[in-house]
Amino acid sequence: MFSTIYNTAIFQPLLNLLILLYNWLGSDVGLAIIAMTIIIRLILYPSYKHQLQSQKKLADMQPKLQDIKEKFKNDKEAQSKALMDFYKENKVNPFGSCLPLIIQLVILIGLFQVLQLGLHGNAIEQLYSFISNPGKISTRSLGLIDLAKPNIYLAVITGILQFIQSRQMIAAQPKSKNQSSDMSQAVSRQMMYFLPVMTVFFGSTLPAGLTLYWLVTTVFSIGQQYFILKSTPPKAELSQ
């Protein structure tokens, strides 16, 4: 049952969108992936904007959150209630930023399966009636890169962009003299280097089409972060 729902809700729509764009863009799967990524990012923009704003507000709240934890450090039940009340009063969901990440992961898995299984064999029979079957699909983009195979150059470029995005987010976090906040920022700085390394590692082993999708997604994220964080009001007064 789950596989049927996944196929209908994720795999088939991604496959059909990719083939539709492939037909429109001169039978170039690379251009189709870029166009599909842009469409997906535009659709997800509202949730991504909410995610960034929530993350920024949570960062601004850290000093008061640490005060609450310190105040109720000997009573975990009271501490949890006080934290939940504080989140509610300030209209912040500490888990609200997880949804866009989950959606991105599901799309990434779906696109991986489309590139691995959907561009040949019986999977192409899952095209909607209004999508023309292009026949044999070339996985080469611009006659240069085979997007069905790993590409170390794309992986390295994507890793560099991932580093820029992570550094951009850390730079937007407020400085704090609180020890716990300092530890949190230290972890964030470690992740700033860890994520790009993992991006290069996976990008050098997975199909280049997947790496291209992540590259374009990261470029969009950098631009969206810049404008969203720039337009977000300065730290507001929080409820006590």
DSSP 115: I
Confidence (pTM) = 0.81
Percentage above 70 pLDDT, the chain: 85
DSSP 9: I
Structure-block tokens of residue 85? 């009340």
pLDDT, residue 113, reads: 85
**Cα separation, 11 vs 220, whole angstroms:** 23
**Cα separation, 194 vs 159, whole angstroms:** 10
Q: Among residues 122, 142, 158, which one has the least CA distance to residue 11?
A: 122
Indicate if the pLDDT at residue 232 is higher than 80: no
Mean per-residue pLDDT, 116-137: 79
Indicate if the pLDDT at residue 9 is higher than 70: yes
Distance of CA 206 to the CA centre of its chain: 17
Q: Among residues 194, 206, 108, which one has the least CA distance to residue 152?
A: 206
Indicate if the pLDDT at residue 39 is higher than 90: yes
**Cα separation, 65 vs 239, whole angstroms:** 11
pLDDT tens, 48-59? 887 777 777 777
Distance of CA 172 to the CA centre of its chain: 18
The rounded mean pLDDT for the chain is: 82
Q: Which residue has the higher pLDDT, 56 or 131?
A: 131
Indicate if the pLDDT at residue 218 is higher than 80: yes
Mean per-residue pLDDT, 202-218: 92
pLDDT, residue 235, reads: 56
pLDDT, residue 7, reads: 84
DSSP 122: G
**Cα separation, 75 vs 9, whole angstroms:** 45
- For 182, residues 6+ apart whose C-beta sits below 8 A from its C-beta are 176
Percentage above 90 pLDDT, the chain: 26
Instruction: Report CA-CA distances (Å) from 151 to 38, 43, 106, 170, 239.
Output: 21, 28, 23, 29, 50
DSSP 151: -
pLDDT tens, 162-205? 999 988 877 766 555 555 555 666 666 777 888 899 999 999 99
Interior angle at CA 14, CA 8 and CA 19, nearest 5? 120
- Token pair 């863009």: residue: 25
Indicate if the pLDDT at residue 237 is higher than 70: no
pLDDT, residue 151, reads: 94
pLDDT, residue 38, reads: 93
**Cα separation, 216 vs 38, whole angstroms:** 8
Structure-block tokens of residue 54? 């929530």
Torsion angle (degrees, nearest 10) of CA 193, 199, 205, 208: -140
pLDDT tens, 86-120? 888 877 777 766 777 788 888 888 888 888 776 66
pLDDT, residue 31, reads: 95
Indicate if the pLDDT at residue 233 is higher than 70: no
Q: Among residues 177, 179, 182, 233, which one has the least CA distance to residue 57?
A: 233
- For 145, residues 6+ apart whose C-beta sits below 8 A from its C-beta are 30, 151, 154, 208
